[in-house]
Amino acid sequence: QVQLVESGGGVVQPGRSLRLSCAASGFSFSNYGMHWVRQAPGKGLEWVAVISNDGRIKKYADSMRGRFTISRDDSKNTLYLQINSLGAEDTAVYYCAKETDWAKPFDYWGQGTLVTVSS
Amino acid sequence: DIQMTQSPSSLSASVGDRVTITCRASQGISNYLAWYQQKPGKVPKLLMYAASTLQSGVPPRFSGSGSGTDFTLTITSLQPEDVATYYCQTYHIATWTFGQGTKVEIK
């Protein structure tokens, strides 16, 4: 069955960088666009970024553009999110999610990885 | 950017009640609207897409309607397992935005 497993979260000092990973299995990873969504503690869902199945199209939420970089390695069935210049506002659970099809909703989500930005 | 506004932000209803959540888009999005359910401490789950199409396995007491800018999610008979926060999401022209969520509790 479809599995998405995030990793790479933890406690990070402000201003540092972090790379999150999402290992996918149970489906043809290279056929699907993939997303990152985050959720600050006690808050709602916030879409972060998407990468198309072939990696050519990358889009970011306006507030994320510039510090966030989404990428994928289809040989490893893995999605990545690089976050630079971390600030307190980036403290959140980061989920990866699989699209049902390009530009469509998300049918599978990982369990999330918690990023805490604190000195 | 398209903004999605849900109302109410929270509600409390009795088991068996009919519950309606609304979602309004800041511009027309046709029927590119999905609903997700997030139970406490759990991962979001896709309930509905294309405004009114039920995702496989979702109970038929859930229904959706709307097009353009105004949408509704209805639970015809609220059950204890429906306690959750519900989010609308647009995926119009490769733009993904969530509403702020509606928390549903049992009275």
Residues A55-64: pLDDT tens digits? 999 999 998 8
pLDDT above 90 covers a percentage of chain A that reads 93
Average pLDDT on A71-88 reads 97
Asked whether the beta carbons of B71 and B88 are under 8 A apart, the reply is yes
- Residue A101, pLDDT > 90, answer no
Examine the pLDDT at B96 and tell me if it is beyond 90. yes
Specify whether the CB–CB gap between A80 and A6 falls below 8 A. Answer: no
Mean pLDDT of chain A: 96
The pLDDT > 70 percentage for chain B reads: 100
Confidence band, pLDDT 50/70/90 cuts, at residue B55: very high
Q: Are B101 and A44 in contact (CB under 8 A)?
A: yes
Q: How far apart are the C-alpha atoms of B100 and B86, rounded to whole Å?
A: 9
- Distance between CA atoms of residues A91 and A50, nearest Å: 20
A59 contacts chain B (CB < 8 A): yes
DSSP code of residue B71: E
Do residue B101 and residue A45 have CB atoms under 8 angstroms apart? yes
Per-residue pLDDT, B93: 86
Burial class (CB in 10 A: 0-12, 13-18, 19+), B53: exposed
A5 and A111 in contact (C-beta within 8 Å)?
yes
Q: How confident is the model at residue B43 (pLDDT cuts 50, 70, 90)?
A: very high
In a mutagenesis test of the B interface, which of A6, A37, A45 is the best target, namely the one with the most B β-carbons within 10 Å? A45
What was the pLDDT predicted at B65? Answer: 98
Q: A–B: how many Cβ contacts below 8 A? A: 54
